[in-house]
């Protein structure tokens, strides 16, 4: 895969990923966790998920030309590691509400992972 097509794929995924995470975060803040500390936790988790998903998609896209399953496995491992670090250190360090911060991060990862295959074939 050449650099130009990789950048195009990552750019398309980034735009769609941003829209999905923003819509999910809005919905979670409006209908599920409506108090200010919980909404803040959801917003911070949305940014974490957005950055990690772009990174994992780029890794999967780079590795997919040689071994798609290895790329997906590496991306999944990175997501699990992020959830672990977020649960044991990140939430406490930032003083966030634990439930909304962790559950929203997992929700963002789950939904984003569902759309990822749509962009791997392009």
Identify the domain containing residue 82 by its residue range.
3-120
pLDDT at 31: 93
Note the pLDDT tens digit of each residue in 87-110: 999 898 998 899 999 999 999 999
The residues, ordered by sequence, that sit 6+ positions from 71 with a Cβ below 8 Å of its Cβ are 59, 60, 61, 62, 63, 64
Q: What is the pTM of this model?
A: 0.88
The count of structural domains within the chain is: 1
Start-to-end C-alpha separation, the chain? 11
Yes or no: say if 37 and 70 are a contact pair by the CB < 8 Å rule.
Answer: no
Q: 78 and 63 in contact (C-beta within 8 Å)? A: no
């Amino acid at each position: 895969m050449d650099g130009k097509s990789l950048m195009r794929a990552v750019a398309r995924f980034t735009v769609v990923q941003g829209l999905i995470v923003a819509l999910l975060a809005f919905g979670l803040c409006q209908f599920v966790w409506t108090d200010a500390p919980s909404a803040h936790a959801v917003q911070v988790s949305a940014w974490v998920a957005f950055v990690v998903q772009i990174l994992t998609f780029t890794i999967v896209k780079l590795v997919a030309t040689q071994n798609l399953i290895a790329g997906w496995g590496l991306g999944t491992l990175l997501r699990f590691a992020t959830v672990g670090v977020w649960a044991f250190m990140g939430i406490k360090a930032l003083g966030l509400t634990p439930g909304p911060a962790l559950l929203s991060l997992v929700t963002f990862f789950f939904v984003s992972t569902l759309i990822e295959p749509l962009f791997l074939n392009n």
